[in-house]
Amino acid sequence: MALNDKQTFRDALGAFPSGVTIVSTTDGEGRHWGFTASSFSSVSMDPPLVLVCIANTADSHPAFMKARRYAINILSQGQEAIAMHFARKGVDKFGPHEFRYGSEDEPHPPVLPGSMASLVCTAHDVYAAGDHTVLIGRIEDVELGDATPLVYYNRGFRNLELETEAETLS
Ligand SMILES: Cc1cc2nc3c(=O)[nH]c(=O)nc-3n(C[C@H](O)[C@H](O)[C@H](O)COP(=O)(O)O)c2cc1C
The answer regarding whether domain 8-169 maps to CATH 2.60.40.10 reads no
Ligand 1 center to residue 34 CA distance, Å?
A: 9
Please state the atom number of ligand 1 nearest to the C-alpha of residue 93: 26
Q: How far apart are CA 169 and CA 163, in angstroms?
A: 10
Ligand 1 center to residue 86 CA distance, Å?
A: 7
Please state the atom number of ligand 1 nearest to the C-alpha of residue 91: 26
Section 49-75 average pLDDT: 98
Model confidence at 169: pLDDT above 60? no
At residue 163, the pLDDT reads 62
**135 burial via Cβ count (<10 Å: 0-12, 13-18, 19+):** buried
Q: How far apart are CA 130 and CA 9, in angstroms?
A: 15
At residue 159, the pLDDT reads 86
In this structure, the residue with its CA closest to atom 20 of ligand 1 is 87
In this structure, the residue with its CA closest to atom 5 of ligand 1 is 37
At residue 5, the pLDDT reads 86
- Structural domain boundaries in the chain: 8-169
Section 115-129 average pLDDT: 98
Model confidence at 162: pLDDT above 90? no
Instruction: Count Cα neighbours of 115 within 13 Å in the Cβ-side half-sphere.
Output: 28
- Mean pLDDT (the chain) is 93
